[in-house]
A and B are shown apart, each in its own frame.
Chain A
C-alpha cells in the first residue's frame, strides 16, 4: 500500500531564507509524485510533479523537488522564501499515473516571517 509522510506539520522561515519541506513515500511500484499548495479557503494547486526521467523537477513560483529513490524522498525546496509562499503544502503519491488515486500526506503549514 502507498503512503506519504511529511515531516513537520509546521515550518517557519524568515523571508529570504531557504525553504525545505520534507516528504517521504512508500510505494511498491515506481511512483508518480506531486506537490500541491493550498492557500486559505482555496482548493489545491499543483506546484510540480515527478513521473519519470530527470529526478530534479522544477515547478511554479521558484519551487523545485528532487526524487531520491534510495531515500524514498521527494523534498520540496525554494532558495529564498517570499511572504506570499505562506500556505499549506501537500505531498502526494500515485501508483497508476498522473490521473488516479492520489494519496496525500498530512500537509505542512509554511509560515514566512518578515
Chain B
C-alpha cells in the first residue's frame, strides 16, 4: 500500500491567492482527517469525514477554509484567500473504523 498521499509537498504562494491541498486516503479507510501543524499552536484537528460526510468541522479556522470529500479516494482542503498566518504544515490522515490513524507526509504551505 502506498499509504496516505498528499500533494503538493511544498507550496509557496502570495497572500490573497487560492491554495488547494489534496489527499488520497488509503483504500478501504472510511475516516479522513485534516490536521494543521504550527510552532505556535502545535497539531490541530481542522475537520474529519466519515464515509465522505463531514462529521466535525469545529476546528476550521474561518470561512476562508473549506474541505470537501467528493468520493472515498480523494479530499481537498482549500484556502481562499490565503494569508501569511495560514503558513503551516497540513497533514491528512485516514483510518478504518476502530483502527488508528495513518498520516500522510504533509503539505508545507508558505504564504508570503
B106 CB contact (under 8 Å) in A43, A45, A98, A107:
A43
**B61: interface (CB < 8 Å):** no
Residues of B within 8 A of A99 (CB): 31, 95-101
B100 x A44 contact (CB < 8 A): no
A104 in contact with B43 given A42-B105, A43-B91, A98-B95 (CB within 8 Å):
yes
Instruction: List the count of A-B residue pairs having beta carbons below 8 Å apart.
Output: 48
Q: How far is the CA of A45 from the CA of B105 in the complex (A)?
A: 10
**Cα separation A90 to B103 with both chains bound (whole Å):** 13
Check B100 against A106 for contact (C-beta < 8 Å). Answer: no
Decide: B42 and A44 in contact? CB cutoff 8 A. Answer: no
Chain A positions within 8 Å of B99 at CB level: 98-99
* Chain A, interface SS category: loop
CB under 8 Å from chain B, chain A span 57-98:
90, 97-98
Closest approach, in angstroms, between the C-beta of A24 and any C-beta of chain B? Answer: 15
Contact B42 A107 (CB under 8 A): yes
Cβ distance B61 to chain A, nearest Cβ, rounded Å: 16
| B48-100 interface with A by 8 A CB criterion | 48, 56, 91, 93, 95-100
Contacts of B42 in A (CB 8 A): 104-107
B48 contact from A42, A44, A90, A101, Cβ within 8 A: A101
B93 to chain A, nearest CB (A): 8
Nearest-Cβ distance from residue B99 to partner chain A, whole angstroms = 6
Task: Give Cα A48 to B98, complex, Å.
Answer: 15
Task: Please name all residues of chain B whose beta carbon is closer than 8 Å to the beta carbon of A43 when the two chains form the complex.
Answer: 4, 91, 93, 103-106
| A and B contact pairs by CB, cutoff 8 A, 18 listed | A42-B106, A43-B4, A43-B93, A43-B106, A44-B91, A44-B93, A44-B103, A45-B103, A46-B100, A46-B101, A49-B100, A97-B98, A98-B95, A98-B99, A99-B97, A99-B99, A101-B45, A104-B42
